């Protein structure tokens, strides 16, 4: 029997940062894709795929339409976490996405925290 590893259904980037491979580079590429959405639609949020271990999770960038907003956001695009290439439309809908998302500002704050120098207690 194949044992599947999944993240919690409400996982966010905050939950996977400790396990991200090259976390700063991952967040930088993710933020670039979020900014494309923000530029086009005025806002952007991101939710991660929960069907992996979290090493470099796939993610979906959403936006909120000002008219008839969907509480879960409208998908802008989704990307593979390793190469950050766009998914096909079918893969966007079929992937198991987290029930929680993070705004562009929240991801920027997360990256800033990650970049802070870490001082060891002596």
State phi, psi for 92 to the nearest 5 degrees. -60, -45
Is 67 a domain residue? yes
Full strand arrangement of the beta sheet holding 102-103: 74-79, 59-63, 45-48, 102-103
Work out how many domains the chain is built from and give that number: 1
Is 32 a domain residue? yes
Is 105 a domain residue? yes
Is 86 a domain residue? yes
- At 50 the pLDDT is 93
The residues of the chain scoring below 70 in pLDDT are 1-5, 68-69, 71, 120-122
Is 60 a domain residue? yes
| pLDDT tens per residue, range 48-59 | 999 877 789 999
- At 121 the pLDDT is 59
User: At how many degrees (to 10) do helices 23-41 and 104-115 cross?
Assistant: 160
Is 57 a domain residue? yes
Which domain range does residue 58 map to? 13-114
Is 5 a domain residue? no
Is 33 a domain residue? yes
DSSP alpha helix (H) spans, 45-103:
89-94
Q: What angle do CA 60, 99, 47 make, to 5 degrees?
A: 25
Q: And the tokens for 31?
A: 């933020």
117 vs 26: CA distance, rounded Å:
18
């Amino acid at each position: 029997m194949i044992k599947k590893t999944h993240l919690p259904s409400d996982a966010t980037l905050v939950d996977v940062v400790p396990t991200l491979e090259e976390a700063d580079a991952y967040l930088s590429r993710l933020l670039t894709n979020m900014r494309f959405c923000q530029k086009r639609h005025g806002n952007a949020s991101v939710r991660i795929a929960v069907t992996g271990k979290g090493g470099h999770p796939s993610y979906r960038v959403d936006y909120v339409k000002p008219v008839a907003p969907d509480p879960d956001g409208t998908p802008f695009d989704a990307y593979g976490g390793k190469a950050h290439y766009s998914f096909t439309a079918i893969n966007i809908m079929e992937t198991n996405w987290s029930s929680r998302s993070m705004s562009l500002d929240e991801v920027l704050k997360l990256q800033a925290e990650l970049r802070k120098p870490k001082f060891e207690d002596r």
